[in-house]
Structure 1
Amino acid sequence: MSDELANARRQLGQISSLAKQDKAMPAAQALQSALGIVLRQPLMKAERMEFSEMIANAVVAIANMPRVRKHYALALTYEPGQGKALYEQLVGLQEVLQQAEMEDAQARMREVEERKRNALNKAADELARGQVVAGKATLAMLVREYPVDFILRGRAGEILLKAGLYEEAVEYLTAAIDGQPDMLFLYSAAGIALRKLGKFDIAESYFLRGSQYLRNEPNLYFNIGRLYIDWQKWDKAIMAAKAALQLKPDFEEARKMLDYAEKQKEKLV
């Protein structure tokens, strides 16, 4: 027996095990590959009989798999001498299974995203009701479950920021930024949390990193101005307020900030 036929025998021998695991796609691929070898090879009578029996058994095993019965409407059958027809049918079967796998993967992704949303909402609700320990625990459990989802970690940080838990917010937000630096919306949140903690120099570094990419975002300049107000750096607060107003002339809060910073500067003269 040639090496190719030995490979076909091996592939056909795997199908029973794959069928027991409901691994429909690998089973169909193995049968198609083995069948292709058999169709290409000149076989002696005994070999034809042996492979016909093995192929027929493989077809029965695949046809009875739950995944195949669920997604493939046609009857998968085989008779000796009908190898080419079976080969074409296996091509169609794999297309159906591939589509089903894509749909299943999308459904699993939707389920995961829904679970994340529900957990974030649960934590936000717990914190809003003053259940700080429970809310923090919900977020901690969530990020442990999805350790490389830095967007999720950033959202958790924003929830903590909103709840006034600034130290915890900084921990989550900065970790998220370190893991995925292109999440520009987090730079401002990290800066706000650091400002609330009085860590003005570190807050400034995050705001300025964000401003490199968000030059047309008036709210970022307003938040930078708030930092400089707290830091009592009036010239920089004036510049930030003017930048916000240049982008958004009707930005009333920025207008008030500008007036306040200019009055404070005048007191120093």
Structure 2
Amino acid sequence: MGPGPSLDSPYHRVKRNLARANGYLRRKEYRKAVQAAAVAFSAKPDCAQLVGQHKHELEFLCIEFCDNFNTNPGVIAFMHGIKIRARPFLAYAPGGEDMVRTKLEIVEERMDAKEREREARRLAALAEKKATWMERGQRALDEGNYPRGKAWLRRVVDDFGHEPGVLADIGSRLLDKDLLPEAADILARARGADPRDHTVYTLAIRAYQGLGEMGKAEEVYLAAIRQFGGHPLTYLNLARHYMAWRKRDKAYEYARKALEADPGLDEAREIVRRTG
């Protein structure tokens, strides 16, 4: 009797994947079960030259998987959910591997569709919750109930602060109500989360200037220049900031930068004249 099939042969590929598929069925990992079984039945035609014990073993394993699949309670429930009530759904006979694989691929497609539907419902529910909390927070702020408004917005921050734009949005709402310390804190987090969002820099500067924290506002200006490059209006705004802070040498420096970038900025020219 000659040696059996090698470990990388189609024979062993079918055996391994059917064993995996049955294991996944027991663990209720149905999509993985379907994928492993599809691999097995795809490899089965390559075993056509098998004879004797190996051939009969594979035929038995194919039939066994189909029986396990057809009688699995979770699979049955899923099939009912997608309106497939044919019993048995998988019916294997020698030479029928393509039909089984095609049916498995159909099941996988339906599983994927169901998963997309579940994900869409989950995301819609989250979006509705976020919108509700944001609306309640804004309404409380508008009514002057700042503790309640901040509490609702804090819930949004805790659950949705990782989403793009959320922290900047909440920071802006707090800033509009002159809740400056809270706005500054949220906007600092927003800048750390997405340093490419230029609006956050403008909002943060407003918050720090409102608090009289001129050094922190300066830091944000300089960070914006590092992030986005020097823009004449940014230089001009920073020169204004230094004028308000009574740092005339710095005001002169950045007013000059603004003029060099845009000679038409009359206000920058005036600052240069006043501080030169």
Give me the TM-score of the superposition, normalised by structure 2.
0.70
Distance, in Å, in 1 between the alignment partners of 2:242 and 2:248 is 7
Letter in 1 for 2:125: E
- Tell me, yes or no, if structure 1 residue 58 matches structure 2 residue 58: no
Distance, in Å, in 2 between the alignment partners of 1:228 and 1:95 is 63
Distance, in Å, in 2 between the alignment partners of 1:48 and 1:71 is 29
Check the 8 A contact 1:166/1:196 in 2, yes or no: yes
Q: What CA deviation, in whole Å up to 9, does each residue of 1:164-222 have, x standing for no partner?
A: 1111111111122122211221000000000001111221231343356287797x688
Distance, in Å, in 2 between the alignment partners of 1:195 and 1:7 is 67
- Tell me, yes or no, if structure 1 residue 77 matches structure 2 residue 83: no
TM superposition shift of 1:52: 0.7
- Tell me, yes or no, if structure 1 residue 8 matches structure 2 residue 24: no
Structure 2 counterparts to residues 185-200 of structure 1, below 5 A? 185-200=199-214
SS at match of 2:173: helix
Distance, in Å, in 2 between the alignment partners of 1:31 and 1:230 is 73
The percent identity for this pair of structures is 18
Distance, in Å, in 2 between the alignment partners of 1:24 and 1:216 is 57
Distance, in Å, in 1 between the alignment partners of 2:145 and 2:225 is 35
Structure 2: runs of 5+ lacking an equivalent: none
Q: What CA deviation, in whole Å up to 9, does each residue of 1:236-263 have, x standing for no partner?
A: 49959x98xx8xx9xxxx99xx5xx969
Partner of 1:31: 37
Following TM superposition, the consecutive aligned residue runs of length 4 or more in structure 1 with deviations greater than 4 angstroms are 71-75, 214-218, 220-226, 232-240
SS at match of 1:80: coil
Distance, in Å, in 1 between the alignment partners of 2:199 and 2:62 is 62
**Larger CA deviation: 140-149 vs 168-177:** 140-149
Q: Which has more radius of gyration?
A: 2
SS at match of 1:77: coil
Partner of 1:115: 129
Distance, in Å, in 2 between the alignment partners of 1:6 and 1:231 is 78
Structure 2 counterparts to residues 35-184 of structure 1, below 5 A? 35-41=41-47, 42=50, 43-45=54-56, 47-61=58-72, 63-66=75-78, 68-71=79-82, 75=86, 76-81=89-94, 82-146=96-160, 148-149=162-163, 151-184=165-198
Check the 8 A contact 2:25/2:69 in 1, yes or no: yes
TM superposition shift of 1:86: 1.2
- Across the two proteins, how many residue pairs are aligned to each other? 251
